[in-house]
């Protein structure tokens, strides 16, 4: 996911979790 990985570099480590939540949501 490279649409909000600019200032969210710290979330890049948990991008998979974010995707999981997005899909589950």
Q: Which pLDDT does position 11 carry in this prediction?
A: 57
- Reported as a single tens digit per residue, the pLDDT across 1-25 is 555 555 555 556 567 777 778 888 7
CA distances from 9 to 5, 13, 17, 20, 24 (A): 6, 8, 14, 18, 23
pLDDT of 23? 83
Q: What pLDDT was estimated at residue 16?
A: 76
Q: Write down the pLDDT at residue 21.
A: 82
Given this model, what pLDDT does residue 5 score? 54
pTM of the complete model: 0.34
Domain boundaries, the chain: 1-25
């Amino acid at each position: 996911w490279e649409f909000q990985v600019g200032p969210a570099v710290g979330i890049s480590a948990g991008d998979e979790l974010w995707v999981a939540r997005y899909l589950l949501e």
